[in-house]
């Protein structure tokens, strides 16, 4: 895997781990400061900027990822195509495109903004809290994913009618339905009425 700002930021020139910083925001999404990533997720959580990406194939199926088991937050659960946090000062759109490539080895086509959603989701398993102002994006995946195994355990394309069954049978991230529901108007516009989203 190529070294990117995300992977390089974890190791300093002297070989020690550097803190990953997140952008703290107010209820309107205005930047008010920064916090270290883990600290921002410790209860009760600090409101920070995030993004969620939903990519679809030409049949209107959503690309899901199962988060790698080694992730410190919500390991092994299914979630949307890609989610993460912009670096302080990084545009959410740029961060969404960057992380989709870093995690899945694909560059989204026709990536478009799909609004924002604010939520507070505790993760009972880890005790961490997702207190996020989340920028939503929808687009097309026109290549097969080539996931980074440190980030992604597996991927699957699912149709709208398959998602409910999968959601009932396997654990999903605490935030998944919140971000999916908020992005549905843009998803329907992208995939058309026949896809059933």
CA 137, CA 16: separation in Å to the nearest integer? Answer: 34
> Please, is 53 exposed, middle or buried when counting C-beta atoms within 10 Å of its C-beta (0-12, 13-18, 19+)?
buried
Between CA 179 and CA 68 the distance in angstroms is 20
Question: Three-state DSSP class for 24?
Answer: strand
Tens-level pLDDT at each residue, the chain (197 residues): 233 333 334 444 455 568 899 999 999 999 999 999 999 999 999 999 999 999 999 999 999 999 999 988 889 999 999 999 999 999 999 999 999 999 999 999 899 999 999 999 998 878 899 999 999 999 999 999 999 999 999 999 999 999 999 999 999 999 999 999 999 999 999 999 999 99
Catalytic residues: 83, 132
Which pTM does this prediction carry? 0.89
Residue reference for tokens 């549905």: 184
């Amino acid at each position: 895997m190529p070294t990117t700002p995300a992977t390089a930021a974890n190791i300093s020139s002297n070989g020690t781990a550097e803190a990953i910083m997140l952008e703290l925001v107010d209820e309107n999404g205005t930047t008010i400061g920064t916090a270290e990533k883990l600290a921002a997720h410790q209860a009760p959580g600090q409101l920070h900027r995030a993004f969620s990406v939903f990519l679809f194939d030409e049949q209107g199926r959503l690309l899901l990822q199962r988060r790698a088991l080694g992730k410190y937050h919500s390991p092994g659960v299914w979630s949307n195509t890609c989610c993460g946090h912009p670096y302080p000062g990084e545009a959410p759109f740029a961060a969404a495109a960057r992380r989709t490539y870093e995690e899945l080895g694909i560059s989204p086509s026709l990536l478009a903004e799909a609004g924002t959603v604010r939520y507070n989701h505790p993760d009972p398993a880890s005790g961490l809290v997702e207190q996020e102002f989340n920028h939503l994006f929808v687009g097309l995946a026109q290549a097969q994913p080539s996931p980074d195994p440190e980030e992604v355990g597996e991927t699957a394309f699912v149709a709208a009618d398959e998602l409910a069954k999968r959601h009932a049978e396997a654990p999903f991230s605490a935030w998944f339905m919140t971000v999916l529901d908020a992005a549905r108007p843009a998803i329907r516009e992208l995939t058309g009425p026949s896809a059933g989203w």
